[in-house]
C-alpha cells in the first residue's frame, strides 16, 4: 500500500520536577554555630504542614561570618541530616556591619543560576545579595525566582530608619528592573511597623512591589494580638550574649511580589507562611517554649541557637504538561468511520498542591459534526420502572446523562437503557464519571442484551454507588439473573468496557482508559445481532419510594474537530481526550494536533502531533478496526450474492466493481497488487503464476472474482495495472 505514517510525540519533561519547595530565612546570630542549631534545622526539614513534609530546599541566612565559614558549616549540617540531598552554598560575601548573607540550597531540587551584590552607596552600610534560582526539571522563565537576602540596619531612631529606607530604595530600583518577576524579599529587616519609610517603599507600586503574605500591611504587628507573627528574642533571658527579652518583635520576613501572590504558576501556598515554632500559644513578651508550636526540645533549641526564629513558607510549582498518544492506527493505516484518536494530557507537577494546568486543544480537521450523534444512540425503558427514565444526549458522544429508576435482577428487569445495535462482535468502552442517588444501591454500567424484552439474556458490568464494581448475567431467557463477583474498592470515576467475541462476553475495567483489567468472561449464546449500551437503575425492594439514580457516561473528554477548546486539570491528574476521525470523502488525510498551555516552566508547555492516514468511508467488515486482506476476502466470498453489507455501489449485487471500490478507493491500493508493496509488478505476477489454474480462493492466491479458480480473468487485473 502507498501509505505513510508519521508520528511526532514530544514529551517535554527531561528531569523529574520537585514537589512544592520549602524556603526559609534565618538570622543565625553573630555568625556562630551554637548548640541547638542541628535540632532546629532537622525539625524544619521534618515538619509536616498541610501534607507537605520535605527537607529544606533553600535557606537564606543573615549574620554569617562568611560563606566559607558559617554558611559552609550549615551546608555540612544539612547534608548530614539529609543524606539523600545534595546541599550546596552560595559563594559571594557581602560587606558591611552585621556580617554577610549566605544561601544553602538542595541541588537535587533547585539550581542557583546567579548571585549578585546589589550596589550600595554611602547611605547604605550593608550589602543586599540577590540570588536567582530555578527548580530542577524546569527550563522556562515561569519557574525562575529571585531571593533578595538582607540584614537592614538595626534599632529605632531616625538615622537607623533612614538607612533602612535607603537600602530598600536600592533594592526596589534593582527589582523593578527585572520586570514582572517572581521575587522573595527575605531576611532580618529590623522594621518596627508599617509606617516606616522602608516598609512603605517596599510595598509601593511598581514591578517589584512587595506584599505581606499574612496581610498585615494596614494593621501592623505590634502587641500581643499579633504575637503569632513575632520572630525576635525566643528567650526571655540572655543566652550566649544574644538579644533577650522574649518574643515581641516581627523583624524577620518573607515578602513576595504579585507573581508569587496569585496562586498561579510558581507561588507561595496560601497559609503556609509561618515563624517556625510559633503558633501563637506562647506567653507574649516571653520565651517561645511557653507555647506549643513545636516539640519541647525544638522550642528550647530555638532559644539556644539564635536570637531570631526562622521564617518558613512553601511554594507551589508551576504546572507541567505531559501528553501521551494512546491510539494506534490499524496495521493497514486505514481509518474507518468512527475511529477515535485518543490522547492523554497530564499535569505531572509533583505535588497535589501544585498549580493547575490550563490548556487549549486545536486541530486542523474541519468539523463535520452535523448535530447527529455518531454513536447513533437510542433509549427506552425496559419493563416498567417505578419512575420513567430521562436521557440527555445533547452533549454526546462526549457525555451522556441518564436519570433512571428500577432494578436489573430476578427473572425480569425494569430500568432505562441507552443502546445501539451490535451486528456482530464488538465492544463498548466508556467512563462512568458520575453516579448520584439517595440510595446506596444505585447502579450504572455497560450492558450487552439480546433483546429489549424485560426477561432477555444479558451481561452487565456495573458500578454500585457504595458497593463497588459488579458483574451480573442472565444466561437463559426468563431465568433469574445471577450476580457473579464484586470488587468493593473500585470507586467512581471508572472506565468500563464490555466486549463480545462469538458467545463470549468480557467485562473489563480501568482507572485511566488505557491499561485494562479483563475481569469477567461469560459464555452466553445470543442472536448474531444484539444491543450494547448503558444501563442505569436504582435497586430497591420497595418501588413506591420512587428513588432515582443519576449517571453520566463519557469518553473522558471529546475534542470537536476544527474547534479550539479549553480544559483544566489539577496537579497529578489527567484528562483522556478523543477525536473522531470522520470525513465525507475517502482518501489521504493528515491529523495535526496542537496543544498550548500555561505551563511555561517546561518548554513553553506546547505539544504538536502530526499523523498521516487514509480515510475509508466504510466500516471494516470483520470489526477489528483494520481494513485489510481479511476484509477483502470477506467481500470476495460475497461476490455473486445480494449481501448489502458488501454491496458498496448499491447495485443490488456484490461483484468485482465493489471489490475495486474497496481496494482502490477506500484502501488506496491497486487491483492486482497482491502483496501490497505499493506496485503491481513481477512479484505479483509470480504469485499469480504459482496459483494459475489452481482451485483456490482469496486475494492472496490472485483469485479476485470468486469463481474458485485462478485464470486469465484474474490476470487481467494484473495486466491492466502493470507498473502502477
Give the pLDDT confidence score for residue 174 in this predicted structure: 97
What is the residue-wise DSSP string for 102-164?
A: EEEEETTTEEEEEEEEEP--TT--B-EEEEEEEETT--SGGG-EEEEEEEPPPSSSHHHHHHH
Give the pLDDT confidence score for residue 339 in this predicted structure: 82
DSSP state letter for 684: H
Query: Which of the four pLDDT bands, split at 50, 70 and 90, describes residue 369?
Result: very low
User: Which H or E run contains 474?
Assistant: strand 468-474
Give the pLDDT confidence score for residue 7 in this predicted structure: 32
Give the pLDDT confidence score for residue 249 in this predicted structure: 96
Query: Which of the four pLDDT bands, split at 50, 70 and 90, describes residue 377?
Result: confident
CB atoms within 10 A of CB 164: 27
Give the pLDDT confidence score for residue 319 in this predicted structure: 87
Query: Which of the four pLDDT bands, split at 50, 70 and 90, describes residue 264?
Result: confident
How many angstroms separate the first and last alpha carbons of the chain? 11
At residue 544, does pLDDT exceed 60? no
Give the pLDDT confidence score for residue 545 in this predicted structure: 62
In angstroms, the CA 230 to CA 708 distance is 96
Mean pLDDT score, 300-311? 98
Give the pLDDT confidence score for residue 232 in this predicted structure: 96
Buried b (16+ CB within 10 A) or exposed e, 90-129: beebbeeebbbbbbbbbebbbebeebeebebeeebebbbb
Answer for the pair 597, 576: CB distance below 8 angstroms, yes or no: no
Residue pLDDT, tens place only, 459-470: 999 999 889 999
Give the pLDDT confidence score for residue 6 in this predicted structure: 30
Give the pLDDT confidence score for residue 462 in this predicted structure: 96
Give the pLDDT confidence score for residue 40 in this predicted structure: 98
Which one is predicted more confidently, 190 or 392? Answer: 190
At residue 521, does pLDDT exceed 50? yes
**Cell numbers for 566:** 479549553
At residue 13, does pLDDT exceed 80? no
Which one is predicted more confidently, 306 or 580? Answer: 306
* Stated pTM of the model: 0.68
For the ranges 216-220, 355-359, 637-641, the lowest mean pLDDT is seen at: 355-359
Give percent above pLDDT 70 in the chain.
93
Average pLDDT score, the chain: 89
Residue pLDDT, tens place only, 64-104: 999 999 999 999 999 999 999 999 999 999 987 889 999 99
At residue 396, does pLDDT exceed 70? no
Answer for the pair 680, 672: CB distance below 8 angstroms, yes or no: yes
Give the pLDDT confidence score for residue 604 in this predicted structure: 64
Residue pLDDT, tens place only, 331-353: 889 988 878 788 888 888 877 77
In angstroms, the CA 691 to CA 685 distance is 10
Residue pLDDT, tens place only, 212-244: 999 999 999 999 999 999 999 999 999 999 999
Closest CA to 142 of 274, 262, 49: 262
Residue pLDDT, tens place only, 94-135: 987 889 999 999 999 999 999 999 999 888 889 999 999 999
For the ranges 68-72, 572-576, 715-719, the lowest mean pLDDT is seen at: 572-576
Query: Which of the four pLDDT bands, split at 50, 70 and 90, describes residue 376?
Result: low
Residue pLDDT, tens place only, 410-442: 999 999 999 988 888 888 888 898 898 888 889
Query: Which of the four pLDDT bands, split at 50, 70 and 90, describes residue 14?
Result: very low
CB atoms within 10 A of CB 430: 23
CB atoms within 10 A of CB 687: 18
Give percent above pLDDT 90 in the chain.
65
CB atoms within 10 A of CB 652: 9
Mean pLDDT score, 558-580? 81
Amino acid at each position: 500500500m502507498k501509505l505513510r505514517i508519521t508520528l511526532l510525540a514530544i514529551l517535554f519533561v527531561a528531569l523529574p520536577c520537585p514537589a512544592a519547595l520549602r524556603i526559609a530565612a534565618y538570622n543565625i546570630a553573630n555568625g556562630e554555630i551554637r548548640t541547638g542549631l542541628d535540632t532546629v534545622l532537622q525539625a524544619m526539614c521534618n515538619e509536616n504542614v498541610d501534607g507537605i513534609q520535605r527537607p529544606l530546599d533553600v535557606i537564606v541566612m543573615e549574620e554569617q561570618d562568611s560563606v566559607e565559614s558559617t554558611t559552609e558549616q550549615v551546608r555540612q549540617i544539612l547534608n548530614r541530616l539529609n543524606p539523600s540531598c545534595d546541599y550546596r552554598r552560595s559563594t559571594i560575601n557581602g560587606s558591611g556591619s552585621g556580617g554577610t548573607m549566605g544561601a544553602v540550597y538542595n541541588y537535587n531540587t533547585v539550581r542557583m543560576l546567579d548571585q549578585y551584590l546589589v550596589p550600595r552607596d554611602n547611605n547604605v552600610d550593608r550589602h543586599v545579595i540577590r540570588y536567582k534560582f530555578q527548580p530542577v526539571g524546569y527550563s522556562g522563565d515561569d519557574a525562575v525566582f529571585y531571593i533578595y537576602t538582607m540584614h537592614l540596619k538595626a534599632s529605632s531612631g531616625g538615622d537607623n530608619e533612614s538607612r533602612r529606607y535607603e537600602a530598600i530604595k536600592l533594592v526596589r530600583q534593582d527589582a523593578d528592573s527585572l520586570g514582572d518577576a517572581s521575587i522573595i524579599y527575605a531576611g532580618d529587616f529590623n522594621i518596627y511597623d508599617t509606617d516606616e519609610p522602608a516598609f512603605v517603599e517596599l510595598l509601593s507600586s511598581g514591578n517589584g512591589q512587595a506584599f505581606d503574605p499574612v496581610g498585615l500591611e494596614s494593621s501592623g504587628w505590634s502587641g500581643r494580638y499579633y504575637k503569632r507573627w513575632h520572630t525576635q528574642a525566643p528567650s526571655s533571658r540572655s543566652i550566649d550574649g544574644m538579644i533577650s527579652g522574649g518574643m515581641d518583635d516581627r523583624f524577620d520576613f518573607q515578602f513576595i511580589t504579585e507573581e508569587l501572590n496569585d496562586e498561579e504558576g510558581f507561588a507561595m501556598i496560601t497559609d503556609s507562611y509561618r515563624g517556625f515554632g510559633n503558633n501563637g500559644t506562647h506567653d507574649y513578651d516571653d520565651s517561645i517554649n511557653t507555647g506549643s508550636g513545636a516539640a519541647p526540645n525544638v522550642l528550647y533549641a530555638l532559644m539556644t541557637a539564635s536570637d531570631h526564629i526562622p521564617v518558613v513558607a512553601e511554594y507551589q510549582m508551576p504546572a507541567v504538561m505531559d501528553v501521551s498518544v494512546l491510539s494506534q492506527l490499524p496495521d493497514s493505516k486505514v481509518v474507518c468511520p468512527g475511529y477515535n484518536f485518543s490522547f492523554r494530557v497530564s499535569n505531572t507537577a509533583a505535588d497535589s498542591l501544585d498549580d493547575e494546568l490550563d490548556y487549549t486543544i486545536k486541530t486542523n480537521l474541519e468539523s463535520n459534526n452535523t448535530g447527529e450523534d455518531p454513536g447513533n444512540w437510542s433509549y427506552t425503558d425496559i419493563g416498567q420502572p417505578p419512575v420513567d427514565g430521562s436521557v440527555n444526549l445533547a452533549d454526546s458522544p462526549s457525555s451522556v446523562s441518564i436519570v433512571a429508576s428500577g432494578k436489573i435482577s430476578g427473572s425480569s428487569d425494569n430500568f432505562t437503557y441507552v443502546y445501539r445495535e451490535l451486528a456482530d462482535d464488538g465492544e463498548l468502552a466508556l467512563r462512568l464519571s458520575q453516579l448520584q442517588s439517595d440510595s446506596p444501591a444505585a447502579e450504572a454500567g455497560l450492558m450487552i442484551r439480546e433483546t429489549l424484552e424485560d426477561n432477555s439474556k444479558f451481561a452487565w458490568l456495573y458500578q454500585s454507588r457504595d458497593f463497588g464494581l459488579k458483574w451480573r448475567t442472565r444466561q437463559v431467557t426468563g431465568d433469574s439473573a445471577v450476580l457473579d463477583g464484586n470488587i468493593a474498592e473500585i470507586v467512581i470515576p471508572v472506565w468500563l468496557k464490555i466486549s463480545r467475541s462469538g458467545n463470549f462476553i468480557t467485562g473489563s475495567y480501568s482507572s485511566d482508559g488505557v491499561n485494562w483489567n479483563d475481569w469477567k468472561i461469560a459464555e452466553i449464546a445470543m442472536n448474531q445481532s444484539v444491543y450494547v449500551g448503558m444501563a442505569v437503575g436504582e435497586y430497591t425492594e420497595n418501588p413506591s419510594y420512587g428513588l432515582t439514580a443519576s449517571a453520566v457516561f463519557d469518553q473522558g473528554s471529546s475534542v470537536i474537530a476544527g474547534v479550539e477548546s479549553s480544559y483544566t486539570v489539577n496537579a497529578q491528574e489527567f484528562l483522556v481526550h478523543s477525536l473522531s476521525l470522520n470525513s465525507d470523502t475517502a482518501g489521504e488525510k493528515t491529523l495535526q494536533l496542537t496543544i498550548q498551555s500555561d505551563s511555561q516552566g517546561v518548554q513553553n508547555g506546547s505539544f504538536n502531533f502530526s499523523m498521516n492516514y487514509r480515510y475509508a468511508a466504510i466500516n471494516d467488515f470483520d470489526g477489528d478496526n483494520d481494513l485489510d486482506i481479511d476484509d477483502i476476502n470477506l467481500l470476495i466470498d460475497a461476490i455473486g450474492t445480494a449481501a448489502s453489507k458488501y454491496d458498496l455501489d448499491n447495485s443490488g449485487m456484490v461483484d468485482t466493481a465493489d471489490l475495486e471500490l474497496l481496494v482502490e478507493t477506500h484502501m488506496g491500493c491497486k487491483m492486482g497488487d497482491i502483496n501490497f508493496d505499493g506496485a503491481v509488478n513481477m512479484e505479483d505476477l509470480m504469485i499469480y503464476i504459482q496459483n494459475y489454474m489452481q482451485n483456490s480462493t482469496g486475494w492472496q492466491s490472485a483469485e479476485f472474482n470468486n469463481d474458485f479458480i485462478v485464470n486469465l480473468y484474474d490476470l487481467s487485473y494484473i495486466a491492466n495495472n502493470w507498473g502502477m
